[in-house]
Amino acid sequence: MPDKNLPDLVIDGARPWNQAEAVSIAIQGGRITGFGAAQDVLGGTRIDLGNMAVYPAFVEPHIHLDKALTQTRGRARSISEAASISRDVLRDGEALEGRVSILLSELVRHGVCAVRSHVNVGPGYGPETIDRIIRAAAPYRDKIELQLVAFAGSDVKPGASTWRNVARAIEQGCIAIGGGTSRRADPGPFVTQVFDLAGEKGCDVDLHVDEHLEPHCHGLEAVLNEMHRSGFSGRVTVGHCCSLGVVPPSHRSELIEQLRELDVTVIALPLTNLFLQGRSDAGLSNAFPSPRGVTPVRELVAAGVRVITGSDNIQDPYLPYGNGDPMIALMVLGIAAQLTEPAELDCLRTAMTSSAATTLGLKRYGLEVGCKADLVGFDQPSFAHTFTMPLSRQLVVLGGNLVVGDPQRGSP
């Protein structure tokens, strides 16, 4: 019979990412209960990492579970074609639960302890999709926390049935309202409706804005204007913000200062940006390479804006590549945004860990006593090595459950 006062699991030889010395980490009841020298931390199943770097587990703040793993339904040659294939995918919820289950099991294996997914709630789909996703995620809930965003479309003006579906989605458990502004000539009225409903329902806002390189930021401006107008008190997140990098510098500085003042999180989504930009309704441009770009991460970081990143589309009509491994999104962001300075590399470290946890409002996240036991371990000598190349995880513990790791790997 196990002693209730002893840990269930002890990770020996673990070097917390911000410390020079390795320690033993005690885990009990899904929480971190102590750090100490190996001889002082008794009991439990033990794993010896031999001085590996250990980080809090990954937080994936932006994917689309309802579309993921559907690229076999057709590879789009243009954005319109991707939207059209997506609508067919969304109306046919047949294989949805199986796809969600496969992707969540992959995310768990990658060491992701929380994931936020946008879910389309247009006419003909929405409430059933949300129920199916929640059902498919149930077997994983001791390892990965799921947050859903009610996505009110990106191209057509949402009708009454869409807004009814959004309101119902909040009652079903969605924690934010989303949608896209890039394909709307005037995003203002849509953004106002999103904020009004979010204020009424007491939920957050998480929008896709300015997913293009045209020299204007109509979507971001609409969001900032609306926040000033309404005094919205929930958390606000804006994804993409690509054109922020191409507007005149003085205008860019002004918008970045407002993002900082209003504590808005910017999500860079480089994987989709680098694949989807350079396409139009006419298809791929013959000019190669087509100009493509991501949000100006270096300027945002220098100004003190919270910048995070996510995988966005995973093997769907918008982006037929990817497996949801956070290390890929982090490395590609580092390349695309040319991140080299210490503060910029620190942004990479937090972009899918602590900063993403703040954006999602996660409780008890981190490498402290009392935090949820969500850890990943890498066999690399330094922080710079760990976040600049995709590495296999030598250790994944989620909710105190050992997901990746070998208990036979040494025992003190």
**Residue ranges that bind Zn ion, judged by CB under 5 A:** 312
Q: Which is nearer to Zn ion, 60 or 226 (CB)?
A: 60
How far is residue 240's CA from residue 340's CA, in Å, rounded to a whole number? Answer: 21
Q: Which is nearer to Zn ion, 210 or 312 (CB)?
A: 312
Nearer of residues 151 and 195 to Zn ion, judged by Cβ:
151
- Looking up tokens 């005037």 gives 186
- Tell me whether residue 236 or residue 373 sits nearer to Zn ion (CB atom): 236
Render 6-58 in DSSP notation, one character per residue.
Answer: S-SEEEEEEEETT-SS-EEEEEETTEEEEEE-GGGS--SEEEEEEEEEEEEPE
Residues 6+ apart with CB under 8 A from 96: 66, 129, 132, 133, 136
**Please, what is the minimum distance in Å from the beta carbon of residue 245 to Zn ion?**
18
The residue number whose beta carbon is nearest to Zn ion equals 312
Min dist. Cβ of residue 62 to Zn ion (A): 6
| Minimum distance from residue 98 beta carbon to Zn ion (Å) | 22
210 or 344: CB nearest Zn ion: 210
Q: How far is CA 92 from CA 89, 124, 150, 152, 295, in A?
A: 5, 10, 18, 18, 34
Cα–Cα distance for residue pair 164/160, rounded to 1 Å: 6
Q: Whole-angstrom distance between the N-terminal and C-terminal Cα of the chain? A: 22
Nearer to Zn ion, 125 or 378 (CB): 125
CB 110, min distance to Zn ion, A: 19
Instruction: Supply the minimum distance, in Å, between the C-beta of residue 385 and Zn ion.
Output: 30
Q: How far is the CB of 208 from Zn ion (least distance, A)?
A: 5
Q: Cβ 83 to Zn ion, closest distance in Å?
A: 13
Nearer of residues 226 and 316 to Zn ion, judged by Cβ: 316
Q: Among residues 66 and 226, whose Cβ is nearest to Zn ion?
A: 66
For residue 86, the tally of other CB atoms under 10 A from its CB is 23
Angle of CA points 195, 311, 49, to nearest 5°: 125
CB 151 → Zn ion: shortest distance, Å? 8
Nearest in space to 293 (alpha carbons), one of 243, 361, 219: 243
Report CA dihedral (345, 348, 350, 355) to the nearest 10 degrees.
Answer: 120
Say how many C-beta atoms besides its own lie within 10 A of residue 307's C-beta: 27
